[in-house]
Amino acid sequence: MTTRLTRYDRSMLRLMNDRRGRPLYVTAARRRLVVAVHLALTAALGGLMTYFYLAEAEPIWSVVVIAVLLLPWMVATGAINAATRGLLELRERALDERQSAERARVRARAHRAMTLLLATAAAGLLIAGAADDDAPMAYPAPVLVAVLTVHWLMPLWVAGLMSQDEPVEDDGLAA
């Protein structure tokens, strides 16, 4: 039984297959650059949000910088989603079997990367606590938000890095 696509599914499928932004992600090097820029912007936004949360004075400048950085962050997110043709954004019923299998591979790889990152962070904190003979006292809210953000975005970054080049059309074959 085939599930019919809803109007929303068809709209998202058109949006994720829109090729107007193709120059941003046409090669593997450009996709890696977009992922690196997205990661850097995410880190900058996270740092600014942490600063805003922890600052004692009126850090209104950080809110302005956050607002300015959100636009390029959204463009980079859209470029990664377009490069993967909406692999993580489309509903399962809008994906073909190959895309569904690719989504599972991306999620599994992102899960392994996140597990390794969390294990490394936990080991680092335990080692630092053992060296000082005191457990490190971190600010729980910013750390929790940072971990949640990385957990949320890791599949997107992995999908962007795993995305393959599109086949080149050969005009000689068409003639």
Average pLDDT, the chain: 84
Q: Pull the structure tokens for residue 156.
A: 């997107």
Domain extent, residue 86, equals: 10-164
Residue 170, in any domain of the structure: no
How many percent of the chain have pLDDT more than 90? 39
Q: What is the pLDDT of residues 33-44, one digit of tens each?
A: 999 999 999 999
Does residue 142 or residue 107 have the better pLDDT?
107
pLDDT tops 60 at residue 85: yes
Residue 91, in any domain of the structure: yes
| Torsion sign across C-alpha atoms 140, 141, 143, 147 | positive
Residue 92, in any domain of the structure: yes
Give me the half-sphere count of Cα atoms (radius 13 Å) on the Cβ side of residue 5. 15
Residue 175, in any domain of the structure: no
Residue 153, in any domain of the structure: yes
- How many structural domains comprise the chain? 1
Residue 172, in any domain of the structure: no
Residue 121, in any domain of the structure: yes
pTM: 0.78
Residue 169, in any domain of the structure: no
pLDDT value at position 175?
47
Q: How far from 170 is each of 28, 42, 55, 128, 165, CA to CA, in Å?
A: 20, 39, 58, 58, 15
Q: Identify the CA nearest to 158 among candidates 75, 69, 83, 72.
A: 83
pLDDT value at position 1?
44
Lowest-confidence pick of 20-24, 62-66, 82-86, 140-144: 140-144
Q: Is-contact 155 88, C-beta < 8 A?
A: yes
Tokens 């390794």 locate to 116
Q: Is-contact 166 28, C-beta < 8 A?
A: no
pLDDT tops 50 at residue 138: yes
Output helix, strand, coil percentages for the chain, rounded to the nearest 5: 75, 0, 25
Mean pLDDT of 158-171: 78
Length of the chain: 175
